[in-house]
Amino acid sequence: MAYIAGLMIIDAPASALNNAGSEEGARTDNTIAVKKIDRQTPYVSAQAFRHWLRIAAADRPGWVAARVGRESKIAYTDADPVTNWDDDLFGYMRAPSKRADAAQAKEMAPLEKDREITRVSPLRVSTLVAVGPSVIVDDFGTMTRQDGDPVPHEHQFYRAHLQGLLSLDLTSAGTFYDMERTGFKNMDSNRRDNAKKAGCEEGSVRGQKVWRLPSGTRRERVATLLDALANIGGGAKLALHYTDITPAIVMLAVIQHGNNPFYRTFIAESGKLQTQFHRPAFDELMNVHKESFLSTIHIGWAQGFLEEQRKKMNEAVGASPLRDRISTGHPVEMIRQLAAAMRSGESTRWFD
């Protein structure tokens, strides 16, 4: 088994990347509040980040996005992981429709009668949470392009470093479980036929029956998703609070297990908003997980972002017993390095 483990930090200098709508007790009826865990900890939901990544992936050459069917209050994808790259890597849930208002039903990939299918997402992402407490600002504006009194409105924004984790199960990427267990009931008769036509091999993984795409196809799907991470964009309130959500920091590696070793590498300085590189935690994880890393450890840190902390990271890398297995540079460069490794033949063993 092998997983991509990653940590990322987004620099949000004056942003409102994910909003919660109206807020009880606000001074105006049309106040738009940011999502926050408490009064000083803004966050971006995992669903929002997955949406940004899915949109970025759909723009990459070769990516095949699933169609979406809609009923009055229900939406679902094709749930065809053999054909659709996002159904493969992002997972799905689909059940037979008995509603008369089902739209696009004839265009969707057919579903076996009286069978529901589900797939646990090989891609896992955390909520992106501010590393330290942040001051959340109430900003006022008015609509004045009309006769009469101005119409006031209010919204919130913040300055924060948003940290999130990601994990991608390489064993499950392009591997479709054919069993009667929720989350692993990936197939029905239509999808089995499709798997055979696509050259999938029937076999056993983790003691369960599976259908598996050819190795090159699996590696290309994961590499393309990484390419999307290097070119990710999105977020709310961009007309007023345009934010570059390219990660300012990334740490990425292929590791033997699904746990994330990078989690405690950054902390908030006591009593301040400043994000700190936690040298003892970095040294400890390099020692504890040294036998678990299967790939080069890619550390991307954009110059100009927390320069003093970046220098501390470089010193830690230079003193690490794994320094010969660590690559450093700009976050986009490091993401692309790992994508290139996924496309190379050497990565085949990580997908077993």
Distances (CA, A) of 205 to 177, 178, 208, 212: 8, 10, 5, 9
Measured distance CA(115)–CA(135) in Å, rounded: 50
Instruction: List, in sequence order, every beta strand (DSSP E) within the chain.
Output: 3-15, 19-21, 33-34, 43-44, 68-70, 75-77, 92-94, 117-119, 123-125, 128-130, 136-143, 151-169, 175-177, 201-205, 208-212, 249-255, 266-268, 275-277, 297-301, 326-329
DSSP, res 110: P
Measured distance CA(202)–CA(207) in Å, rounded: 13
Measured distance CA(244)–CA(11) in Å, rounded: 8
The residue with tokens 């809609």 is 70
Q: Which of 94, 78, 85 is nearest to 122 (CA)?
A: 85
Q: What is the pLDDT at residue 105?
A: 55
Q: What is the pLDDT at residue 87?
A: 98
Q: Which of 229, 191, 224, 197 is nearest to 210 (CA)?
A: 191
Measured distance CA(59)–CA(229) in Å, rounded: 11
3-state secondary structure 177-201: EECCCCCCECCCHHHHHHHHHCCCE
Q: How many CB atoms lie within 10 A of CB 272?
A: 10
Q: Tokens standing for 290?
A: 């040294």
Q: Which of 80, 64, 242, 274 is nearest to 161 (CA)?
A: 274
Q: Which residues is 69 bridged to in the sheet?
A: 76
Q: Which of 348, 64, 349, 83 is nearest to 216 (CA)?
A: 348
Q: Which of 219, 179, 221, 202 is nearest to 81 (CA)?
A: 221
Q: Tokens standing for 167?
A: 């994990």
Task: Look at residue 328 and give its three-state secondary structure.
Answer: strand
The residue with tokens 């989690």 is 263
The contacts of residue 239 (CB under 8 Å, 6+ apart) are: none
**pLDDT string in tens for the chain (352-residue length):** 899 999 999 999 999 999 997 666 555 566 789 999 988 899 999 999 999 999 999 999 999 999 998 777 788 899 999 999 999 999 999 987 766 555 555 578 888 888 999 999 999 999 999 999 888 998 877 777 777 777 777 889 999 999 999 999 999 999 999 999 999 999 999 999 999 999 999 999 999 999 999 999 999 999 999 999 999 999 999 999 999 999 999 999 999 999 999 999 999 987 666 899 999 999 999 999 999 999 999 999 999 999 999 999 999 999 999 999 999 999 999 999 999 999 998 899 999 9
